[in-house]
Amino acid sequence: MLMQRGQMPRRRVLIRPAALAMLARCTTALLGGYAATAALVSLVSRLLPLSRAEATAWGMITSFLVYAVIGLWCFHEPKLVRVVALVWSVAALAGGAVWLIGARA
């Protein structure tokens, strides 16, 4: 769908809305996905009822899978608003929770 070139009339616009939407989607997937992943795995590893070294390691081990799934979902979901809202709010909420709970004693 990105390859349909030639048909569109060339207008003097700095950035086309479609490109802007794609930029927002990519940013959300790459940065928002990373932030949401970091916050989620931190929260889970903080709450896991294991020794803190073990819980930390489980969080780190699962992180890349979580990141991959979130990142791909950002391109799978057609509604950009839903993508941006969900990913960034997960990052903010989980991150906020981690910050509120604080490190283990």
Partner 1 sequence: MAWIHGWLGLLAGWILFAMFLTGTASYFRPEITQWMQPEQPANRVSAAAAAQAAVRYLSRVGVGDEQWYIYLPDDRSAVTRVFAIPGAKAMPAKRPRAPELELDPRGGEPIHARETRGGEHFYRFHFQLQLPHPWGRWLAGLCAMFMLGAIVSGVVTHKRIFADFFTLRWNKGQRSWLDAHNVSAVLALPYHAVITYTGLMTLVLMYMPWPIGANYKQPADFGKEAYGYVFDDKASGRAMPLVAVAPLITDAERRLGQHAQRVVIRFPGDAAATVAVASGGASSLNARGGTVTYSGVTGRVTAADTGAGPALSTAGVMLGLHTAQFAAPALRWLLFALGLTGAAMVGTGLLLWTSARRRPNAAPFFGLRLVERLNIAAIAALPIGMASYLLANRLIPAAAAGRADAEVATMFYTWGGAALLQLARPAKRAWCELFGLGALLFGAIPFVNAVTTDRGFFTSLRAGDGLFVGFDVAMLAIAALLAAAAWSAGRERQGKTRRKVRELAHV
Which residue in 36, 39, 87, 90 binds partner 1 (CB under 8 A)?
39
**Residue 98 identity:** V
Rounded CA separation 30/33 (Å):
5
Instruction: Give the nearest distance from C-beta 79 to partner 1 in angstroms.
Output: 16
Site track for partner 1 across 41-80, x = CB under 8 A: xxx-xx---xxxxxxxxxxxx-xxx-xxx-xx--xx----
Whole-Å CA distances, 76 to 25, 26, 36, 58, 71: 11, 12, 17, 27, 9
Angle formed at CA 46 by CA 40 and CA 52, multiple of 5 degrees: 135
Instruction: Give the nearest distance from C-beta 23 to partner 1 in angstroms.
Output: 14
3-state secondary structure of 50: coil
Nearer to partner 1 by Cβ, of 90 and 98: the residue is 98
Q: Is 28 in the site for partner 1 (CB under 8 A)?
A: no
Nearer to partner 1 by Cβ, of 27 and 51: the residue is 51
Angle formed at CA 61 by CA 55 and CA 65, multiple of 5 degrees: 130
Please give the residue ranges that form the binding site for partner 1 (CB under 8 A).
1-3, 5, 37-39, 41-43, 45-46, 50-61, 63-65, 67-69, 71-72, 75-76, 98, 101, 103-104
